[in-house]
Chain A
């Protein structure tokens, strides 16, 4: 279970305050959507969950399965089950996607005291998951994210999620840059991973993603605070009225 308690954070370099007291509880199996206008702090929240050191937590705590995440390095958080699907996946020239997948999977297994996967077993898993996401072997041989289209990058993120089997998935604007067909493939990929032991925090600007990944709870983030919480219907309301009303209410 994820518990975010009165979280305040700022940009480390210049001290700009971004998050101003976020409280959020995500229970196992739940899907929470976080919506909000540009600059409300959505992406910052995802980076802080993953442990990016560009941000400084000044107050509050993030507790995951009874343990504070704040003292953990990003790779330790990953091994603890936190996965961030990046809005802008990073390119690593010269490192084949396949190589990267295997390295990451085995690093996490090792951190958890598990044995490395044998190559045939690994390949079997990759092939199975890739097929579901319409990812070709050719794409897996290419350097990670280098020269991938927007849709390919997002599908590669979901493939990583499917392989690494995290227990907390944070999706940062996964719908951005996707056409409707790609959105369907990606959403189906996410939905296949839904289960009683896995929670999702889905960050998005638009409601359309939530037609495909139906959330249990919807939060509206504005100026670093959650200003409203409701069911899936809240997303529809936002789509009709826009953010203005909520943002004003927060001010």
Chain B
């Protein structure tokens, strides 16, 4: 397996405790003053030339948020966040808005190049190997800096742009769908996001259209003390199909940074949305200092009959991950999937899982979760599968596996299974294991080193999920997992 070899090479080439994406881009930026109040929200809204209703929506969310308290039920511990010590808006000065690539600050282009994200369409096209093409929306701190392949997508009728642009160009679409899956009042972090979100991606795939290429957003937090609050909205009309990828990195900084995103997916009749994430925010250093606090609300609504939403996530970064990409299976015969790999090392804390809410008839869902804990980390799967009264013939299969590496980490499984319909069939399995000494010895006897053996066994452990990722991401994800586990054995 070539990927295994690459993984190994990558592990070797990187020093322990070195986060590859930890560099800082030296670029002048424009920030709103620190802290949160109605003026800041007005500032953000004005900066983006938003319609009046959007500002009202934000202010309503903010007022609601002031009455809410942070959730405490997750297995994560962290000092209290001072929400007034955060910059809610930071944008590279040179980029007033996404225009053509020629107008983008070369420093930014270099940043994405360094991150391995191609923003120049011609470079991709000129590639010697016929690679599959990916359209990218690049979000740098609070703003989208560029979106590629827009023209080509437009020909197919697909709208792919930053949400700020969508608010200006397609306000009726945004207004119709925003907050319709994750209500403004949903939870503390989603409500905060509704008040202060700065950018994110917007995708609209019209009826019957199969999006001609993978769409991707690449999120980068660069500024100090800056929160990133992006908002993504994806709508697949009847019979439409889209595959969307999301990647995240942040510089290595000593202080913790907050990331609170909201993602809403809407799939109408016969539509399918595939949403993949490789989350590699800075996880903090060896002593647990720094790192991103990642509080994310992701939810998909299978609104139409025969619709399908599939979440795949590879979570290797962040000091704290609080994230439950969910599916509301409203349409009859709709299907939800959740495939997850969550790797924690060092002092990382992950509390992640999914909710599959079966409302319609003949709905089905599948959950495959692979948790790998190493170092002194804590890794929790938390999930809910429920069948409501009318969800006849609902089906769920859940498999939750945990792999522990070392004796100072923890792996926890907290599934809730609620059936209110006798014809619903739910099956749940969970296991916990370690890499056995026998497996290690067997691999070594065949000539593999410790690192190679661990990489091989871990890749076997996560294979079911890796297979769900688009090819370009699969290799990347495998590398990332091995790097994340670097130094965990020995």
Complex: A in contact with B (CB within 8 Å): yes
Binding site for B on A (CB under 8 A): 50-54, 73-75, 77-79, 83-84, 86, 89-90, 92-95, 99-100, 102-108, 111, 116, 143, 160, 164
Q: How many A-B residue pairs have CB under 8 A?
A: 86
- Distance from B13 Cβ to chain A, minimum over Cβ atoms (Å): 15
Establish whether residues A75 and B448, one from each chain, have CB atoms under 8 Å apart when the complex forms.
yes
Q: What's the minimum C-beta distance from A93 to chain B, rounded to whole angstroms?
A: 6
A-chain residues with CB within 8 Å of residue B448 when the two chains form the complex: 75, 103-104, 107
Could you tell me if A86 and B442 are in contact, using CB atoms closer than 8 angstroms? yes
Q: Which residues of chain A come closer than 8 Å to B452, judged between CB atoms? A: 75, 103, 107
Return the CB mask of B334-350 against A: 1 if under 8 Å, else 0: 00000000000000000
B444 engages A92 (CB within 8 Å):
no
Question: B214: CB under 8 A from chain A?
Answer: no
Q: How close is B179's CB to chain A, nearest CB, in angstroms?
A: 40
Docked Cα-Cα span, A111 to B462, in Å, equals 27
Closest residue of A by beta carbon distance from B452: A107
Q: Of residues B441, B442, B447, B463, which shows the largest number of chain A Cβ atoms within 10 Å of its Cβ?
A: B447
Chain B contacts of A77 at CB under 8 A?
445
Residues in A with CB closer than 8 Å to B1 are: 99, 102-103
Stretch of B21-29, B200-208, B453-461, B473-481 lying at the A interface = B453-461
In the bound complex, how far is the Cα of B444 from the Cα of A78, in angstroms? Answer: 7
B464 at interface by CB-CB < 8 Å: yes
CA distance A75 to B450 in the complex (A): 8
B441 near A74: Cβ-Cβ < 8 Å:
yes
Asked if residues A108 and B447 are in contact (CB atoms below 8 Å), the reply is: yes
Nearest-CB residue, chain B, relative to A86: B442
The distance in angstroms between the C-alpha atoms of A143 and B448, with both chains bound, is 17
* Contact (Cβ within 8 A) B444 A74: yes
A-facing residues in B97-152 (Cβ within 8 Å):
none
Is the beta-carbon distance between A94 and B459 smaller than 8 angstroms?
Answer: yes
Q: Which 7 A-B pairs have the closest CB atoms?
A: A94-B460, A74-B444, A95-B460, A78-B447, A104-B446, A108-B447, A90-B442
Least CB distance, B443 to chain A, in whole angstroms: 8
Asked if B429 CB lies within 8 Å of chain A CBs, one says no
In the complex, the answer to whether A107 meets B447 with C-beta atoms within 8 Å is yes
B3 nearest CB neighbor, chain A only: A99
- Binding site of B, secondary structure by majority: helix, strand, loop or mixed? helix
Instruction: Indicate whether B439 reaches chain A with its CB closer than 8 angstroms.
Output: yes
A112 to B57, CA, bound (A): 67
Cβ-defined contact, B457 with A107, below 8 A: no
Mark out the residues of chain B between 307 and 347 whose CB falls within 8 Å of any chain A CB in the assembled complex. none
B351-389 vs A: 1/0 string, CB under 8 Å?
Answer: 000000000000000000000000000000000000000
For the complex with contacts A75-B446, A90-B438, A164-B447, 10 further pairs of A-B residues with Cβ separation under 8 Å are: A75-B447, A77-B445, A78-B447, A90-B436, A90-B442, A92-B457, A99-B1, A103-B452, A108-B447, A164-B446
Please encode chain B, from 280 to 300, with 1 for each CB lying within 8 Å of some chain A CB and 0 for all others: 000000000000000000000
Chain B residues near A105 (CB, 8 Å)? Answer: 447
User: Contact between A95 and B459 (Cβ–Cβ < 8 Å)?
Assistant: yes
Contact A106 B5 (CB under 8 A): yes
Contact in complex: B446, A160 (CB < 8 Å): yes
Q: Is B36 an interface position by the 8 A CB rule?
A: no
Across the interface, name the chain A residue whose C-beta is closest to B433.
Answer: A93
Asked whether B40 is an interface residue with its Cβ less than 8 Å from the other chain, the reply is no
Q: Is B4 close to A, CB under 8 A?
A: yes
List of A residues within 8 angstroms of B444 by Cβ: 51, 73-75, 78
Q: Among the listed A78, A79, A95, A164, which residue makes an inter-chain contact with B457, where contact means beta carbons less than 8 Å apart? A: A95
Among A50, A53, A78, A103, chain B packs the most CB atoms within 10 A around the CB of: A103
In the bound assembly, the distance between CA atoms of A207 and B95 in angstroms comes to 82
A95/B456 contact (C-beta < 8 A), A52-B441, A90-B442, A103-B1 known: yes
Name 9 A/B residue pairs within 8 A (Cβ), A-sorted. Answer: A78-B446, A86-B442, A89-B442, A92-B443, A92-B457, A94-B463, A102-B1, A103-B452, A111-B447
Least CB distance, A56 to chain B, in whole angstroms: 15
Check B460 against A143 for contact (C-beta < 8 Å): yes
B449 within 8 A of A: yes
Neighbouring A residues of B437 by C-beta, 8 Å: 54
Q: State the Cβ distance, A24 to closest chain B Cβ, in Å.
A: 20
- Chain B residues near A84 (CB-CB < 8 A): 445
Q: How far is the CA of A53 from the CA of B441 in the complex (A)?
A: 9
| Shortest Cβ distance from residue A9 to the other chain B in the assembled complex, whole angstroms | 16
User: Most A CB atoms within 10 A — which of B443, B449, B459?
Assistant: B443
Residues of chain B lying within 8 A (CB to CB) of residue A95: 456-457, 459-460, 463
Which residues from A are CB-within-8-Å of B439? 90, 92
CB distance from A90 to the nearest CB of B (A): 4
